[in-house]
A = this chain, B = another copy of it.
């Protein structure tokens, strides 16, 4: 059994491993968890005692197969709960994350299974992120940042890179929601801003936005 704190470390390492080739650095973990590197050092020792990470002093850390399973199960719970909150309890997609951070630590295999059934086996959470299956595997769809699309290319909104409440609310205001089709009308070299077509309307989009929105090219 893992403590709340251990689970949060495992999840952080899991997410960091997704975009690092080498082991995850102490500093990266500290930054993600808003804690101090010394605290991370301490915890890593405990986690490697429990055989969920491989740890070599000064060399960063890697999840073991077992550790990855644990981490994926927490991510699975997080995302299932987010779906529940949006689909069943009328939360909007910018309100769910903090509650899911709490709910992901509830320990009950039956609860997770039944929730999965109740929600109709969702494959993605409200932010377009894939939900790991029971074995911790996730099927990744190929998605591209909107900023990588060329002029006249089109794609369907499938996810966000930044899922902060601020960004999500901004998208709501602009009526950019997952599932909608976007066509790039113009790319400005000057500031890398985009002119896009969505819902038949023309919209101007800064580079910062285009860098945080995923589309599936179509």
Closest approach, in angstroms, between the C-beta of A4 and any C-beta of chain B? Answer: 9
Q: What copy number does this chain have within its complex?
A: 2
Chain A residues with a Cβ under 8 A of chain B: 85, 88-91, 95, 98-99, 102-103, 106-108, 110-111, 114-115, 118
Residue from the set A90, A99, A108 with the largest chain B CB neighbour count within 10 Å = A108
Residues of A contacting B: mostly: helix
Contacts of A118 in B (CB 8 A): 88-89
A99 interface neighbour in B95, B102, B106, Cβ under 8 Å = B106
**For the complex of A and B, 4 pairs with smallest distance between CB atoms:** A89-B114, A99-B108, A102-B106, A99-B111
Contact B91 A110 (CB under 8 A): yes
Given A99-B110, A103-B106, 15 extra CB contacts under 8 A: A88-B118, A89-B111, A89-B114, A89-B115, A89-B118, A90-B114, A91-B110, A91-B114, A95-B110, A98-B108, A99-B106, A99-B108, A99-B111, A102-B106, A102-B108
**Chain B residue at smallest Cβ distance from A114:** B89
Contact B107 A102 (CB under 8 A): yes
Contacts of A106 in B (CB 8 A): 99, 102-103
